[in-house]
Amino acid sequence: MSKLSHAQWSSKMAFILAATGSAVGLGNIWRFSYMVGDSGGAAFVLIYLACVALVGLPILVAEWLIGRRGQENPINSMIDLARKNGRLPAWALVGASGVLAAFLILSFYSVIGGWSLSYTLGSVTGAFSGQDADGVSEIFTGLLGNPVALTLWHTAFMALVIGIVARGVTKGLEGAVRTLMPALVVLMLVLVGYGMTTGHFGEALAFMFSPDWGAVTGDVVLAAMGQAFFTLSLGMGIMMAYGSYLGEDVNLIGTARTVIILDTAIALLAGLAIFPIVFANGLSPGEGPGLIFVTLPLAFGNMTGGMILGLMFFLLLTFAALTSAISLLEPVVELMEERTPLSRVAATLVSGAAVWALGIAALMSFNVWDNFLILGLNVFDLLDTFTSKFLLPLTGLGAILFVAWQLDRDSVAAELNLTGGQATLWTVVSRFVAPAGVILVFISSL
């Protein structure tokens, strides 16, 4: 808890790997592609890219900076820094809403992690071999319509997350991230290569990059910004918590750039792999959350070596999902450990069980509760929408406003190694561009 007992990352590389492990996950492959498809394609992609660069990068830097200066969990870091700088302790709400967001997101994230596990097994048993579009769609609807199976897979995924977090071995995963992340990139490239053979690659390119601005609504813009926050693990206190382990020698802006380029590249590759399959098979891009689960099995089921590649892909996807899920549970557990008499294991079990229970409500939205709507949304969509479109951007806005307006400007510039024109650029972006971006997006969606 204190500065002295707070260990630091052994090296800059370890930090990049941990941040990448949190950032790269289902958000890049599952959520990115289905949101692009749902939102009509290129305009969403381009707005998302703009949000990543103009809002995501400064907020990522701001969260790391707060964590590194505060040296504690997000809530305490915010309280401490606010006090030291003569600001209101109410800034701690930024930390608190982040922990709430992490809790809510993990509940539905684990359900999709369960789908990925289930498809890993499906690849081994050859369930997808030779299937056509109807066949794979049937497999997917069969899974969705079976609450017992969904519960089992969700439980299995949460059990893995809880097991790893309870034993406190999360840092041991960096080595695995180092080897498995490049493997995931290679497999995505293979899938993009397969997409090129379908004869519909050009259509997919146009869908992703040739925008029809006329069709853009405020909601599309908000969805794109929400995706930027979700995919970079922003607005959740996670990056703040990571920053608290960060040594003084790490260059925040350069590191943020590295993590963001990797995360964005994987998302774009996912789109380039998935949409050719969509168009080649007459599927709808607006398929919804099932998009990757009806397109990728088609590719694996019909290419040579598809069984092995499919198995490898879903294993790697599950692993990427696990490292992200661990980073979601970790802040909840840390907070409980510090604020209650519970041991780490007990705190993990209690918070993991609560997340698991909420996840059951989320997965029932696909079957027995599909008519149970709140504000027109089922539980799954409600959790997803409320967190990514509101909680994350608001918390991130709080973080950037705090760094830009409440901390001493010169010391921030010095900490970021910025001088002259670059320091001015940072001030303009962090004070005006990024916050105005978030606020304008909110306004446009009203």
Which residues make up the interface to ligand PHE (CB under 6 A)? 22-23, 25-28, 105, 230-231, 233, 236, 238, 324, 327-328
224, 48 Cβ separation under 8 angstroms: yes
Q: Tokens in use for 32?
A: 């990115």
Length of the chain: 446
Cα–Cα distance measured from residue 224 to residue 102, given in angstroms and rounded to the nearest whole number: 19
Q: Which of 120, 327 has the CB closer to ligand PHE? A: 327
Query: Can you point out the beta strands (E) in 297-437?
Result: none
Cα–Cα distance measured from residue 75 to residue 96, given in angstroms and rounded to the nearest whole number: 6
Cβ neighbours of residue 246 closer than 8 Å, sequence gap 6 or more: 8, 9, 15, 64, 67, 68
Residue 355 CB, shortest distance to ligand PHE, in Å, is 13
Q: Which does 276 bind (CB under 5 to 8 A by kind): Na ion, ligand PHE, none?
A: none
Quickly count: other Cβ atoms within 10 Å of residue 343's Cβ.
11
Residue nearest to ligand PHE (CB): 27
Residue 104 CB, shortest distance to ligand PHE, in Å, is 10
Residue nearest to Na ion (CB): 231
- Options 162-170, 257-265, 280-288, 300-308: segment touching Na ion (CB under 5 A): 257-265
Binding mask 103-132 for Na ion (x = CB under 5 A): ------------------------------
Residue 242 CB, shortest distance to ligand PHE, in Å, is 10
Q: Which does 52 bind (CB under 5 to 8 A by kind): ligand PHE, Na ion, none?
A: none
- Options 39-47, 231-239, 306-314, 351-359: segment touching Na ion (CB under 5 A): 231-239
Q: Tokens in use for 58?
A: 């400064």
Residue 106 CB, shortest distance to ligand PHE, in Å, is 8
Q: Tokens in use for 398?
A: 């709080």
Tell whether residue 27 is a contact of Na ion (CB under 5 A): yes
Q: Which does 26 bind (CB under 5 to 8 A by kind): Na ion, ligand PHE, none?
A: ligand PHE
Tell whether residue 28 is a contact of Na ion (CB under 5 A): yes
Q: Which of 110, 131, 198, 231 binds Na ion (CB under 5 A)?
A: 231
CA dihedral over 350, 354, 357, 362, signed as positive or negative? negative
Residue 229 CB, shortest distance to ligand PHE, in Å, is 8
Q: Which does 324 bind (CB under 5 to 8 A by kind): ligand PHE, Na ion, none?
A: ligand PHE
Three-state DSSP at 283 gives coil
Three-state DSSP at 9 gives coil
Residue 32 CB, shortest distance to Na ion, in Å, is 8
158, 379 Cβ separation under 8 angstroms: no
Residue 377's beta-bridge partner residues?
374
Listed residue (409, 437, 438) closest to 425, CA to CA: 409
Q: Which does 117 bind (CB under 5 to 8 A by kind): ligand PHE, Na ion, none?
A: none
Q: Which of 29, 298 has the CB closer to Na ion? A: 29
Instruction: Give the number of residues in contact with Na ion, rule: CB under 5 A.
Output: 5
Q: Which of 44, 201 has the CB closer to Na ion? A: 44
Q: Which of 260, 347 has the CB closer to ligand PHE? A: 260
Q: Which of 23, 225 has the CB closer to Na ion? A: 23
Q: Which does 399 bind (CB under 5 to 8 A by kind): ligand PHE, Na ion, none?
A: none
Residue 292 CB, shortest distance to ligand PHE, in Å, is 13
Q: Which of residues 6-25 bind Na ion (CB under 5 A)?
A: 23
Q: Which of 28, 255 has the CB closer to Na ion? A: 28
Q: Which of residues 294-353 bind Na ion (CB under 5 A)?
A: none
Cα–Cα distance measured from residue 137 to residue 394, given in angstroms and rounded to the nearest whole number: 37
Residue type, 108: F
Residue 246 CB, shortest distance to ligand PHE, in Å, is 17
List C-alpha distances in Å: 277 to 25, 43, 205, 374. Answer: 21, 20, 12, 34
Tell whether residue 429 is a contact of Na ion (CB under 5 A): no
List C-alpha distances in Å: 173 to 14, 176, 324, 328. Answer: 10, 5, 11, 15
DSSP 175-234: HHHHHHHHHHHHHHHHHHHHHHHTT-HHHHHHHHHS--GGG--HHHHHHHHHHHHHHTT-
Return residues touching Na ion (CB under 5 A). Answer: 23, 27-28, 231, 263
